[in-house]
Amino acid sequence: DSGEPISSHKGFSAEFGNTLCELAEKDKKICAITAAMAKGTGLEKFSIYHKERFFDVGIAEEHAVTFACGLASKGMRPVFAVYSTFLQRSYDQIIHDAAMSGLHIVLAIDRAGIVGDDGETHQGVFDVSMLNSIPNVTIFSPTYFDGLKCALNSAIYVCNNVAAVRYPRGGELYKPDDFGEESITYDVYGNKDCGKLIITYGRLFSYACKAKEMLAEKGIEVCILKLCKIKPIDPSAFDFATEFNTVWFFEEGIKTGSVARNFGDALLARQFNGCYHIKTIGDKFVKQMSVSEALHMLKLDAEGMADVVLEDLDRIGNR
């Protein structure tokens, strides 16, 4: 559970690129856009096999979004693959050209979350807060390759507004043998009647599963609510969480505008009277370090999650 991919030769970027190629083979309306990052975003194969529907606009993310909107307005299905940190440059275009205009474009957000050695400027920890602030936007954040495929298919064929699919650098992490496949909205893993709930999404689910095992060794049972669609969240997920006494939300992103904050607001609106704890990234930038080092420092790895749960339970006297 170091935070590094189990298999480095096949990560989410490659899986995205292969899936998009397969979809484009059957659908001539699908086109791919990159801002000078074809190799980094896994679009090299697409650029060869679907050359006439591949567009590299250079280092111009703002133009990439507006160009995607132009294609969408003419009936195409544009997919803009971009690193999370570079998507920030196109905030204005996403609002005015895409969301406000009601156009259907797909944002494939690579390097979502902590990125490690790429450095402080490349940490993909702002895209969720940024997109959470924009109406007419749907966000998926799968944990595994099967979830990525399902989310990408939904983003292209089910959503009719701006749809974002975000995924981390590297490959799949730990998956419990008894978990199964991801749903498109949310999954529940563990005993629903234990009274203690961890909520998370994306690759942090892998760490939460490890933390669940660590806590079980200490006689503490927790259930995990794994979100896949993080905007909008299925209302039944909120209803499910209200059945627990103590809830923790772990998120690999900035706290302001976070899913954790939005989830807490929804619980409050439902008169949730249990304890709700948020562990995200505070009002700060994350320095350059490895993924495992950063997640450990932020208490977002398995050990950190288990420690946070134990500390909170001790404080509220609920062991």
**Where are the strands (E) in 214-258, listed by range?**
223-227, 229-231, 246-254
Asked if 264 and 278 touch (Cβ cutoff 8 Å), the reply is yes
Cα(270)–Cα(7) distance, rounded to whole angstroms? 42
pLDDT band at 10; cut points 50, 70, 90: confident
What is this structure's pTM? 0.95
**Complete domains list, the chain, with CATH:** 12-166 (3.40.50.970), 186-313 (3.40.50.920)
pLDDT tens for 52-108 read 999 999 999 999 999 999 999 999 999 999 999 999 999 999 999 999 999 999 999
The count of other CB atoms within 10 Å of the CB of residue 84 is 27
Q: What is the pLDDT of residues 123-163, one digit of tens each?
A: 999 999 999 999 999 999 999 999 999 999 999 999 999 99
Are 194 and 126 contacting, i.e. CB atoms less than 8 angstroms apart? no
The string of pLDDT tens digits covering residues 170-189 is 999 999 999 999 999 999 99
Tokens 């969480």 label which residue? 241
Within its chain, how far is the Cα of 109 from the centroid? 9
Amino acid at residue number 96: H
Q: Are 61 and 36 in contact (CB under 8 A)?
A: no
C-alpha 202/C-alpha 143 separation (Å) is 4
pLDDT for res 318: 66
Note the pLDDT tens digit of each residue in 26-46. 999 999 999 999 999 999 999
pLDDT of 195: 96
Question: What residues have CB less than 8 Å from 70, skipping those under 6 apart?
Answer: none
Q: How far apart are CA 136 and CA 104, in angstroms?
A: 10
